[in-house]
Structure 1
Amino acid sequence: MQLSTHLSRPCRHRLVVGLLAVLLACAPLVACSSDSDDNPLSIPTYDPEAAASAEASESAAAASASASAAASAEAAGVVTAESLSTDRYVVTSIPEDLDELQTEVLKAFIHYDQVTWNIWFTRSDVENAEPLMTTETYQNLRNNLEAAGDGHTDGTVKTSVIGVFAVDQYQAQVLVCDDQSDLVDYDAAGNDVSNPETLQGRYEILVTMTYEDGVWKESGESLRSTNKCTV
């Protein structure tokens, strides 16, 4: 997806890190076995198969702990970069100590951004973005999609939220760094039509969110820099 068409389209896991540290500290470093006939002193000998099994179990336990921690945080109403991420839209960082209003704006922005990126990934379901954008920016999105034509985009977007700024109770801004280096654009025939200058880079973008009809909607975006994000 080219940046020009997407425009008109920003905490650390302390709990997860803590759980992983406990698991790794308690897990055995080496899997051992002993054979009294060959080893009269009963000194454990290294068993490669047991070691591989122990390593696999340790990795599974760590992954389970990470997923459990993320689920617990989300259930408790705690917003983390991990809880905001999807397979194709990875939030790499968000600001710490956001207040209630900033958190509400952040969640609304991420939802809007994920929906519009999914539209560009598939070139379909543009109507899903209508409730998340003001009338003007939604029409711009439709126009840009029509101009882009059929095709699709593959890859993963990595978004770092640099800051969330509440201007007042009806307007806020979100500063993000989009890493689009993993993206590839294809036309309707499946040809790679990616433009490295407008697609596969890092873009610092300031997004304006407006409170309208009881929800925060995207109402404008401006490109701040290319490959010079402040994070």
Structure 2
Amino acid sequence: MHTTPPHPSHHPRPKNRRLQAGLFALLLAASALTACTHNTNNATGIPTYDPEAMASAKASESAAAASASASAAASASAAGVVTAESLSTDRYEVTSIPEDLDEQQTEILKAFINYDQVTWNIWFTRTGVENAQPITTDEEYQYIKENFDSVGGGRTDGTVRVSIDSVNIASSYSTEIRAEIQLCDDQSDLVAYDLDGNDVSNPETLQGRYKKIVTMVLEDGTWKTAKEQALSANECTV
């Protein structure tokens, strides 16, 4: 749960990617050429500049680029590739993740992001604390619930921004497999309100940037959050 943190407490590219890029560039060039047209009333026969045609070509280029970007994102998602963008929501922005994560690290990262989004949504809406139970250890869930009960009603507005620095298996040889995720948690955009709509934000506890280590454990085949530890305040960046 997100409570007051204590102060200092590849995937190979397809071989035909370059060919596809070349063909795409040729298509854009052909589109731009339509901006210069022959004026049948021009005695010189020299192509004349048509502003409307050029504007149309520029619009076509922009639309084609946007379509290509969306297509690439959709292909990555279909292939199971995890990106910072694919992990983000309207109120929870992942700004960066480590490169070259293997399958197990990716699984751990996705489990953590799910946990973090679920628990932040509890704070955003002040509802649904029970949603944290399946994704946390018994001890961590009890800690979350006690904090939730003590906060009371209201809501939190704004967007959380998170930068994931590392995902590491802490122990793979003991009976309890653990992993650690190090991150920077930027809460500077958040504003807390009570039931009457009064701003009750405490800049010292809510609106900072916190460097954290989150411990995950593998229980019955599911990665669950066991503990959050704050390392510093207002020193990390996202």
Tell me, yes or no, whether TM beats 0.5: yes
Structure 1 residue 181: Cα displacement: 2.1
Residues 107 and 61 of structure 1: is their aligned pair in 2 closer, same or farther, counting only changes over 3 Å? same
Residue correspondence of structure 1 range 6-155 to structure 2 within 5 A: 27=28, 32=35, 34=37, 35-37=39-41, 40-45=44-49, 47=51, 53-155=56-158
Q: 2:3 matched to which residue of 1?
A: 4
Structure 1 residue 206: Cα displacement: 0.6
Structure 1 residue 159: Cα displacement: 0.9
Structure 1 residue 32: Cα displacement: 3.2
Aligned length: 223
Between 190-199 and 205-214, report the one with greater CA deviation. Answer: 190-199
**In structure 2, distance between residues paired with 1:25 and 1:147:** 63
Structure 1 residue 191: Cα displacement: 2.2
Q: CA RMSD of the aligned region, Å?
A: 3.2
Determine helix, strand or coil for the equivalent of 1:87: coil
Residue correspondence of structure 1 range 132-211 to structure 2 within 5 A: 132-169=135-172, 170-211=177-218
Q: Which deviations, in whole Å up to 9, do the C-alpha atoms of 1:151-203 show, x marking residues without a partner?
A: 11222211110001101231010001112222222222222222222222221
Q: Higher Cα Rg: structure 1 or 2?
A: 2
Structure 1 residue 68: Cα displacement: 2.1
After TM superposition, the score normalised by the length of structure 1 is 0.81
Determine helix, strand or coil for the equivalent of 1:158: strand
**In structure 2, distance between residues paired with 1:162 and 1:32:** 47
Determine helix, strand or coil for the equivalent of 1:81: coil
Counterpart of 2:83 in structure 1: which amino acid?
T
Q: Which deviations, in whole Å up to 9, do the C-alpha atoms of 1:7-34 show, x marking residues without a partner?
A: 9xxx89x89xx89x87678536698355
Determine helix, strand or coil for the equivalent of 2:3: helix
Between 101-110 and 22-31, report the one with greater CA deviation. Answer: 22-31
Between 107-116 and 184-193, report the one with greater CA deviation. Answer: 184-193
Residues 194 and 44 of structure 1: is their aligned pair in 2 closer, same or farther, counting only changes over 3 Å? farther
Q: Which deviations, in whole Å up to 9, do the C-alpha atoms of 1:110-136 show, x marking residues without a partner?
A: 111111111111111111111100111
**In structure 2, distance between residues paired with 1:195 and 1:42:** 70
* Percent of aligned pairs sharing the same letter: 58
Does the 8 Å contact 2:186/2:237 carry over to 1?
A: no
Residues 84 and 30 of structure 1: is their aligned pair in 2 closer, same or farther, counting only changes over 3 Å? farther
**In structure 1, distance between residues paired with 2:153 and 2:61:** 45
After TM superposition, the score normalised by the length of structure 2 is 0.78
**In structure 2, distance between residues paired with 1:53 and 1:129:** 51
Structure 1 residue 228: Cα displacement: 1.2
Does the 8 Å contact 2:5/2:210 carry over to 1?
A: no
Residues 165 and 230 of structure 1: is their aligned pair in 2 closer, same or farther, counting only changes over 3 Å? farther
Residues 120 and 56 of structure 1: is their aligned pair in 2 closer, same or farther, counting only changes over 3 Å? farther
Residues 82 and 42 of structure 1: is their aligned pair in 2 closer, same or farther, counting only changes over 3 Å? same
